[in-house]
């Protein structure tokens, strides 16, 4: 269980910034300075985040298949990767840009709270990792639905404040990618060792290293 959880957490650490890739930061800023163009900004950002999720998921699947473990572990890792990619549907960055920080904080906490609830309810089950996967799916789905419902009530009626070219230029890949590269580089600096160990060594060593690393932290 420790090995599955450690590898899954490592994969999710790469999943979220790869999907955002700077889009949430610039998108939140655009929402803050051009609130009347919110619908157009959300449409553009979410389209790009969805495309990034389609690029990231196959890479995560390839990594999961490279892990030297039992036949069930890659299936679990692939399932968790797919659940993590549900994050692409979340509009949490919109709440951040509109300074709805309480909603933003509670929404962001939902996946973790859902996983924790499943861990507490089924901590003695042999299939606990699958319950953790279910918690991740439920948490990410609830997060996406809550922000979507909120945005349907919140989005502005007027949507002509910003020219489409201005939004397109602000969200151009050459501008957003620097945020994504910096975030991914920081994560790689902190976790590339355990990620490499997952595909190069056996599951016992991965588990021992993960526990030792958490204790040091």
pLDDT at 161: 52
Q: How far apart are CA 27 and CA 49, in angstroms?
A: 11
Token pair, residue 8, equals 């899954």
Give the number of other CB atoms < 10 A from CB of residue 129.
23
pLDDT tens digits for the chain (217 residues)? 666 777 777 788 888 888 988 898 889 999 998 888 888 899 999 999 999 999 988 988 888 888 776 677 788 888 888 888 999 999 999 999 999 999 999 999 999 899 899 989 888 888 888 888 899 899 999 999 999 999 998 887 665 555 666 777 888 877 777 877 887 787 777 667 766 776 676 767 777 777 787 788 7
Q: How far apart are CA 132 and CA 138, in angstroms?
A: 10
CA count, 13 A, side-chain hemisphere, 153: 6
pLDDT at 1: 64
Q: How far apart are CA 87 and CA 92, in angstroms?
A: 9
Q: Where are the domains of the chain?
A: 2-100+163-216
Alpha-helical (H) ranges within 67-172 are: 72-84, 92-97, 101-121, 128-154, 164-170
Token pair, residue 138, equals 């439920």
Run of H or E residues at 163: none
pLDDT at 76: 84
- Determine the 3-state secondary structure of 171 from DSSP: coil
pLDDT digits (tens, 9 = 90+) for 87-143: 999 999 999 999 999 999 999 999 989 989 998 988 888 888 888 889 989 999 999
pLDDT at 96: 93
């Amino acid at each position: 269980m420790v090995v599955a959880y450690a590898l899954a957490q490592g994969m999710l650490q790469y999943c979220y910034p790869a999907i955002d890739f700077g889009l949430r930061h610039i998108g939140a800023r655009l929402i803050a300075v051009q609130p009347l163009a919110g619908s157009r900004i959300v449409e553009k950002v979410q389209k790009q985040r969805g495309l990034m999720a389609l690029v990231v998921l196959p890479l995560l699947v390839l990594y999961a298949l490279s892990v030297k473990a039992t036949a069930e572990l890659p299936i679990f890792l692939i399932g968790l990767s797919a659940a993590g990619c549900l994050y692409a549907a979340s509009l949490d960055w919109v709440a951040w840009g509109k300074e709805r920080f309480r909603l933003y904080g509670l929404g962001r906490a939902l996946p973790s709270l859902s996983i924790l609830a499943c861990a507490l309810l089924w901590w003695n089950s042999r299939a606990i990792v699958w319950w953790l996967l279910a918690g991740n799916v439920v948490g990410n789905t609830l997060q996406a639905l809550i922000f979507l419902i909120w945005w349907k009530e919140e989005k502005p009626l007027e949507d002509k404040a910003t020219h489409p070219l201005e939004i397109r230029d602000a969200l151009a890949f050459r501008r957003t990618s620097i945020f994504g590269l910096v975030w991914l580089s920081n994560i790689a600096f902190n976790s590339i060792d355990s990620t490499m160990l997952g595909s190069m060594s056996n599951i016992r060593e991965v588990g021992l290293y993960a526990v030792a690393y958490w204790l040091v932290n």
